[in-house]
Structure 1
């Protein structure tokens, strides 16, 4: 399992619209192969800052399965115009602490 992480900076004055669009986009991503769970958190200190965390079964489920899909084009049209700057997406693997 991998964790996708992206810090999202939403353009000033568009937070409410972004959150509405993200609710729509959530339906898209949650139906993708390899999708496990996602959450969107809003920063308490900075009104236009969010963090998106998505759990995928494999890296390829995100980078190929989702990003190369028709569904991603819909996701992109719903969300990408809100970001400034465009987010850096990173992937993490859990460290076994036992």
Structure 2
């Protein structure tokens, strides 16, 4: 499993509209991508225009090739892209340590 971490900055005052758009984009677009496992969106406390999008993929290629190089990516960006104050910073992670609760 690969974790995509996207650090997103949006324009001030757009939180409610962005949250509706990202939820819609996740439900209608991302869920159709091969290798998609699940997603979470975290809202910044100190910086309310900052969001972390965390998406689990089966493989790195499911995100970087299967999704990013497909028509789904254009659909996704059409929904959420207008809210971006700057391009998101995207990184990928794999499990290092797991501590069950």
**Structure-2-length-normalised TM-score:** 0.90
Aligned length: 98
Alignment gaps of 5+ in structure 2: none
Two-structure CA RMSD over aligned residues (Å): 1.5
Q: 1:8 deviation in Å?
A: 0.8
Report whether the alignment pairs 1:73 with 2:80. no
Name 1:23's counterpart in structure 2: 23
Alignment gaps of 5+ in structure 1: none
**Structure-1-length-normalised TM-score:** 0.92
| Partner SS state of residue 55, structure 2 | strand
Q: Relative to 1, partners in 2 of residues 1:97 and 1:48: Cα closer, same or farther, differing over 3 Å?
A: closer
Question: Could you list the runs of 4 or more consecutive aligned residues of structure 1 that deviate by over 2 angstroms after TM superposition?
Answer: none
In 1, the alpha carbon distance for the partners of 2:68 and 2:18 equals: 20
| Partner SS state of residue 77, structure 1 | helix
